[in-house]
Amino acid sequence: MTDKNEKHKKSMEKQKEKVDSRIEEASIEKGVVILLTGNGKGKSSSAFGMVLRAMGYGHKIGVVQFIKGAQLSGEEIFIRDLVTQNKYPEITFYQMGTGFTWNTQDRTSDIEAAERTWAEVVPLLQDESYDLVVLDELTYMIAYKYLDEQMILDAIANRPPNQSVIVTGRGGGSALQELADTVSEVKDIKHAFKAGVKARQGVDY
């Protein structure tokens, strides 16, 4: 065996030892809170990747999107189709929809829409039959102070122990980061949009 191969083998063995011991050390069984944040692309699509993963096991899933819903997305089309065709009965989907404007011209109606949407989240976070709850773009509700931060933190913290929650969106604040078990920041290195490339169906929405 060449020197290079021998070195590689040794380093892989070491790596395996490390991973194996960490796997052995992990002994806690519980649902997790995952925060996907940062300015780069890939937060919501990662969350929907986990939805797909959970669906593979027939898990019960709740998806609530804190977006105005002007732009239809592939995931919305897909999930709505699952629901109406009764192809996957274990999924609940809600989108904030109309009444919300990003340019906060009508703060009162924005807050109403946010509160209406939060009212859909509460029963999910109290129902242990839900394995996974996705709160897409929730961070903006905290950033804009449309919803009370402590109310959100308490509801997530007091969820059933085996339920996992995924929160997506830029920012979100340190308290949410602290509560989360896993926090990933998607860093924007470059984005096609900035080079003038139009958002792509099936890729961006």
Helix then strand count (H, E) for the chain reads: 7, 6
Contact at 8 Å (CB) between 37 and 139?
A: yes
Locate tokens 């899933």: which residue?
Answer: 61
**Strands in the chain per DSSP E:** 33-37, 61-65, 91-95, 132-136, 164-168, 182-185
| 44 versus 95: smaller Cβ distance to ligand ATP | 44
- Give the one residue of 42, 69, 97, 99 binding ligand ATP; rule: CB under 6 A: 42
Query: Which region among 1-9, 117-125, 127-135, 191-199 touches ligand ATP (by CB under 6 A)?
Result: 191-199
Question: 118: exposed, middle or buried (C-beta count within 10 Å: 0-12, 13-18, 19+)?
Answer: buried
| 43 versus 60: smaller Cβ distance to ligand ATP | 43
List the interface residues with ligand ATP, window 90-129 (CB under 6 A). none
First to last CA, the chain: 50
User: Could you say whether residue 144 binds ligand ATP (CB under 6 A)?
Assistant: no
Paired strand residues for 166: 34, 134
User: Could you say whether residue 201 binds ligand ATP (CB under 6 A)?
Assistant: no
Residue ranges in contact with Mg ion by CB under 5 A: 43-44
User: Could you say whether residue 43 binds ligand ATP (CB under 6 A)?
Assistant: yes
User: Could you say whether residue 20 binds ligand ATP (CB under 6 A)?
Assistant: no
Find the shortest distance in angstroms from Cβ 71 to Mg ion: 11
Q: Residue 184 binds which one of ligand ATP, Mg ion, none, with CB within 5 to 8 A depending on kind? A: none
Q: Kindly write down the DSSP assignment for every residue of 83-108, as one continuous string.
A: HHTTS-TTEEEEE--TT--TT-S-HH
User: Could you say whether residue 39 binds ligand ATP (CB under 6 A)?
Assistant: yes
Q: Residue 39 binds which one of ligand ATP, Mg ion, none, with CB within 5 to 8 A depending on kind? A: ligand ATP
Binding site for ligand ATP (CB under 6 A): 39-45, 168, 186, 188, 191, 193, 199, 204-205
